[in-house]
Amino acid sequence: MTDLAIDVVGLTKRFGDRTVVDDLALQAPRGAIYGFLGPNGSGKTTTIRMVCGLLKPDAGHGTALGFDVIAESDRIKERTGYMTQRFSLYEDLSIRENLEFIARLYGLDDVRRRVDGALADLGLAERSSQLAGRLSGGWKQRLALAACMIHQPDLLLLDEPTAGVDPKARRDFWDQIRRYARDGVTTLVSTHYMDEAVQCDAIAYIAYGKKLLDARTADIPRLVGLHAWRVTADNLDAAEATLRDAPGVAVVARFGAELHAAGLDEPALARAVQTAVAQGARAAPMEAGLEEAFIHLMTQSADNFR
């Protein structure tokens, strides 16, 4: 056993003539929350499935929880909780019945005690008799997480777990994930939400099968090297049009009632912003954030469907 929950090198997966994951390496410390960011079709789900032994890589090797991802995949599955993008429990069973079923699938002893503990841990006890199919998105999410954790795994894999749920439910969900991390559970999570990404200890940016960046979350904007300006204007559309194709502007994105313009060439970016200011916009420098870095990285990547 080492301090790394996940340690894989060269993971590669092809479907037909398309390489979905290309020579990917990943190291995640025990107890860390590790984020996967990338556009749809970038290989995040395929990577997660290779790490936990559900999918055999065409090339590469490594370990998860100290077990070989190819030769000992069954041992990894026993100690892993995997929450898929879609709710996959039985909608015509109650919350309690679903958890009892999952507990028996794992061959757990003292099923009633374990289910009672899971219900209490996720705040589901008062709804335990409610049919899963009648739950809202946030409560389905809690049930799915309870099912993932009922066998007390050491590794939790979350594939876009909060898609379609409200901000309060997402916040509660992440509070629970941090509690698991404090107990030593390692979490690998794919997400599109920047407010979730900032809660991860480290992030790997994946685009169309290639890992573009892998670093501590706080270090990523600096490593990408973007400079940024905040721009407001009475006519935001006109300001955006001015900045969109200007030399030095790699990213221009709307955030509420303002624009964020970012680029690698600081003097050229400043000149582009001043052009917008001369046309009536107002601007101030700012620190580039994760979202600007994410957009920039994605625009530099070629779609492997092409």
pLDDT of residue 1: 45
Q: Where are the domains of the chain?
A: 4-220, 227-287
* Torsion-angle region of 228 (φ positive above 0: left; ψ -120 to 50: alpha; else: beta): beta
182 sits in the region (left: phi over 0; alpha: psi -120 to 50; else beta) called alpha
Widest CA span of the chain, in angstroms?
Answer: 72
pLDDT attached to residue 304 = 47
Q: What is residue 296's predicted lDDT score, i.e. its pLDDT? A: 85
What type of residue is 14?
R
Say if CB 206 and CB 42 are below 8 A apart: yes
Burial class (CB within 10 angstroms; exposed 0-12, middle 13-18, buried 19+) of 175: exposed
- The C-alpha atoms of residue 244 and residue 300 are separated, in whole angstroms, by 16
Determine the pLDDT at residue 297. Answer: 82
Instruction: Select from 72, 68, 58 the least CA-distant residue to 16.
Output: 58
* CATH class of the domain comprising 4-220: alpha beta
The pLDDT score that the predictor gives to residue 302 is 55
Q: What is the CATH number of domain 227-287?
A: 3.30.70.100
253 vs 259: CA distance, rounded Å: 6
Q: What is the pLDDT of residue 31?
A: 93
pLDDT at 218: 87
pLDDT averages per 10-residue partition of the chain, 306 residues: 85 92 94 88 89 92 94 94 89 96 93 94 93 92 93 93 79 90 94 82 89 90 92 95 93 92 96 96 93 82 52
Radius of gyration of the chain (CA): 22
Q: How many CB atoms lie within 10 A of CB 275?
A: 15
Residue 64 bridge partners (DSSP):
6, 67
Written as one letter, the residue type at 248 is: G
Whole-number pLDDT of residue 305: 47
Q: Do domains 4-220 and 227-287 have the same CATH topology?
A: no
Q: What are phi and psi of 287, to 5 degrees?
A: -85, 130
